[in-house]
Amino acid sequence: MIQGHPIIENVKILVVDDDSGVRKLTVNALTYCVNREILSFEDATSAWHYLKDGGAADIIISDVDMPGMSGIELTTRCKADRADTIVILMSGVKANRKAAEQSGADAFLGKPFSLADLFEIVRFYVVGESAG
């Protein structure tokens, strides 16, 4: 649990990032805050195949810039397939914010981000409120 934040229940999250350090940090942080299931993928193509093969996710947290399929394309496909899936895109490139919005992403998280910021945005979409 992140200090001062309660556990988020009943949510399945996919974390997609080609940077293994960011991916592991994000998964590890969410593991302490989410009591259901967190899956990670090193590229958007693998995440998309998982979803198309019957896998499910309530929230997808994805990097924007990755080899092969981008997080923008993943978002567009996910929103076309299942519009109620929450997609949070993250990037260290501020110019990607506009592309994220245009793709249908629900939120944009600038890198580097704090664990509290990550948890806060997930909590907002799961619980519908801000802890702050």
Q: What is the pLDDT of residues 22-53, one digit of tens each?
A: 999 999 888 877 667 899 999 999 999 999 99
pLDDT digits (tens, 9 = 90+) for 91-101: 999 899 999 99
Distance separating alpha carbons of residues 125 and 24, to the nearest angstrom:
22
Q: What is the pTM of this model?
A: 0.89
Q: Choose the CATH number for 12-126 among 3.40.50.2300, 3.40.640.10, 1.10.10.10, 3.50.50.60.
A: 3.40.50.2300
For residue 80, how many C-alpha atoms fall within 13 Å in the half-sphere facing its CB?
Answer: 9
Per-residue model confidence (pLDDT) at position 102: 93
